[in-house]
């Protein structure tokens, strides 16, 4: 096992990694921008290094500065968290060439699975069902041929992106070429890569993802998460297990995910994402080669420390978790964001008063505190509020109680939106899809 881990990230995930380091008896190094000098991850790490000004490209995306910080502090491993450089294969290669442990998958696997077209090709070869679609679309004629074969409606997607950018739904041919140009433009602006492809558009899907782990020789899938409550393809509420799956479909999904993970020789923690259509047929859509924001719900239900397992695997240890694990109860996670609950505009500023909930079955992962200044430069996530119970009804009751205990003054949050969702009869009854918030 390595001795000192540099966390190339900020906020709650940096704190999460620091806690795992302490549980393992490892030293931690926090890197930070000047805007994050007073952040909790900086305060609680064993060492800290300022790597630049607030703009991400000058700090958290600055590979030379991060490597220099590791060399100066004597860190022998780097954990990328999620976002920023977490799925950057070039960064992973640099880390390894500098003789450091990379707490993540092999760079070549990151490249393959980070490109949605190549990922689809690999999954198809492994016998994993994928949404009918195309290869990279370079000309209008290729687009015409693709939609003739796939049929409308279709969705245009960026090959190297996510979060809804470079993604356009097309209902008929009259808008195809204009939307294709718009998707390319967004993909270029967001990911410096204009490549796009086309898939059949599934109208009312559930978004289901599977937590997987691999050591290069074997793989396990330890459960699924329901991530259908989302706004503009950004997840807001996650839960485990999914109420949309019966036991037979769950077994099939987990078996498929395990087979797919083993097929690529995956080493570390990752997530396979699927769409579930109205007929309960699932289709692979992408793989996240990192720890997920919502890994906490899986931890609560299965009683496993995924970040600790991630570090063990990075140190060369084999998988030790059982091949099949049964969930214990139900967990729900809310993403508490600094944003207007109606317009969703970001709401940076100083938190003038703060109370975080507690009690049986409640977990809060956060980096905020009273008088903390939420900077305007980064993601708006303030906290992840997780409730666990013996069943979904108990978890829902605990989450409503916990949400009523949340006090964040001085800025706006999306707590009122969460209350509306938690009390909606369709959400309570498990009757929802990825367009739920559009109808709320």
Confidence bin at 166 (pLDDT 50/70/90): confident
Contact 204/439 with Cβ under 8 angstroms?
Answer: no
Q: How much is the pLDDT for 324?
A: 87
> Any idea which of 26-30, 144-148, 158-162, 436-440 has the lowest mean pLDDT?
158-162
* pLDDT over threshold 80, residue 161: no
pTM reported for the whole predicted model: 0.93
pLDDT of 302-329, one tens digit each? Answer: 999 999 999 999 999 999 999 889 999 9
> In which order are the strands placed within the sheet that holds 206-215?
282-288, 267-276, 206-215, 219-231, 234-240, 330-337, 381-389, 362-366
Closest CA to 337 of 406, 423, 398, 389: 406
* pLDDT over threshold 90, residue 113: yes
| Separation of alpha carbons 265 and 313, rounded Å | 13
**Virtual CA dihedral for 371, 373, 379, 383, nearest 10 degrees?**
0
* pLDDT over threshold 80, residue 299: yes
Domains, in order of start, for the chain: 4-95 (3.40.50.20), 132-200 (3.30.1490.20), 206-439 (3.30.470.20)
| Distant-in-sequence, close-in-space partners of 5: CB < 8 Å, separation ≥ 6 | 17, 21, 26, 27, 28, 29, 75, 77, 78, 79, 103, 311
Q: How much is the pLDDT for 429?
A: 98
Q: How much is the pLDDT for 420?
A: 97
pLDDT of 208-238, one tens digit each? Answer: 999 999 999 999 999 999 999 999 888 999 9
DSSP 250: H
Instruction: Look at the chain and count its residues.
Output: 440
* pLDDT over threshold 70, residue 243: yes
How close are the terminal C-alpha atoms of the chain, in Å? 49
Contact 383/336 with Cβ under 8 angstroms?
Answer: yes
Q: For tokens 């809804």, name the residue.
A: 164
Q: Which two tokens stand for residue 297?
A: 């719900």
> Any idea which of 48-52, 164-168, 339-343, 351-355 has the lowest mean pLDDT?
164-168
Share the mean pLDDT of the chain: 96
What are the angstrom distances between the C-alpha of 310 and each of 15, 65, 103, 125?
15, 24, 7, 27
User: Once rounded to an integer, what is the mean pLDDT over residues 120-135?
Assistant: 93
* pLDDT over threshold 80, residue 390: yes
pLDDT over 70 percentage in the chain: 99
Supply the residues annotated as catalytic: 290
Q: At what angle do helices 107-114 and 116-125 cross, to 10 degrees?
A: 100
Residue 410 zone, left/alpha/beta (φ > 0; ψ -120 to 50; rest): left
* pLDDT over threshold 70, residue 163: no
User: Once rounded to an integer, what is the mean pLDDT over residues 187-205?
Assistant: 91
Q: How much is the pLDDT for 387?
A: 98
DSSP 153-183: SEEEEETT--TTTT-EEE-SGGGHHHHHHHH
Confidence bin at 116 (pLDDT 50/70/90): confident
């Amino acid at each position: 096992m390595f001795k000192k881990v540099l966390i190339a990230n900020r906020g709650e995930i940096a704190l999460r990694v620091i806690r795992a380091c302490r549980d393992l008896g490892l030293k931690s190094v926090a890197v930070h921008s000047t805007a994050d000098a007073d952040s909790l991850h900086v305060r609680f790490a064993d060492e800290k290094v300022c790597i630049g000004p607030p703009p991400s490209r000058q700090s958290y995306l600055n590979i030379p500065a991060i490597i220099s910080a590791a060399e100066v502090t004597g860190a022998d491993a780097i954990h990328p968290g999620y976002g920023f450089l977490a799925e950057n294969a070039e960064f992973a290669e640099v880390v390894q060439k500098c003789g450091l442990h990379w707490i993540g998958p092999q760079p070549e696997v990151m490249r393959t699975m980070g490109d949605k077209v190549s990922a689809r090709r690999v999954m198809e070869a492994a016998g994993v069902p994928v949404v009918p679609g195309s290869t990279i679309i370079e000309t209008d004629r290729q687009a015409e041929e693709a939609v003739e074969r796939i049929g409308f409606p279709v969705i245009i997607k960026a090959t190297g992106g996510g979060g809804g950018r470079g993604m356009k739904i097309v209902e008929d041919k009259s808008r195809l070429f204009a939307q294709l140009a718009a998707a390319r433009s967004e993909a270029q602006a967001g990911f410096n890569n204009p490549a796009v492809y086309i898939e059949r558009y599934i109208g009312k899907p559930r978004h289901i993802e599977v937590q997987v782990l691999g050591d290069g020789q074997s793989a396990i899938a330890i459960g699924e998460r329901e991530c259908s409550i989302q706004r503009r393809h950004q997840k807001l509420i996650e839960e485990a297990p999914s109420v949309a799956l019966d036991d037979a479909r769950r077994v099939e999904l987990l078996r498929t995910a395990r087979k797919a993970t083993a097929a690529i020789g995956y080493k570390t923690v990752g997530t396979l994402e699927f769409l579930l259509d109205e007929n309960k047929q699932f289709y692979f859509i992408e793989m996240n080669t990192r720890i997920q924001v919502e890994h906490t719900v899986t931890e609560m239900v299965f009683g496993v420390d995924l970040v600790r397992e991630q570090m063990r695997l990075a140190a060369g240890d084999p998988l030790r978790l059982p091949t099949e694990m049964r969930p214990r109860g139900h967990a729900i996670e809310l993403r508490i964001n600094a944003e207007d609950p109606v317009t969703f505009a970001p709401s940076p500023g100083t938190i003038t008063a703060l109370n975080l909930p507690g009690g049986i079955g409640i977990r809060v992962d956060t980096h905020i505190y009273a008088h903390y200044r939420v900077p305007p430069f980064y993601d708006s996530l303030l906290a992840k509020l997780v409730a666990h119970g013996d069943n979904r009804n108990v978890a829902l009751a605990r989450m409503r109680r916990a949400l009523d205990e949340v006090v964040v003054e001085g800025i706006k949050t999306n707590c009122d939106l969460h209350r509306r969702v938690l009390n909606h009869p369709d959400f309570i009854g498990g009757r929802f899809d990825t367009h739920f918030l559009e109808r709320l």
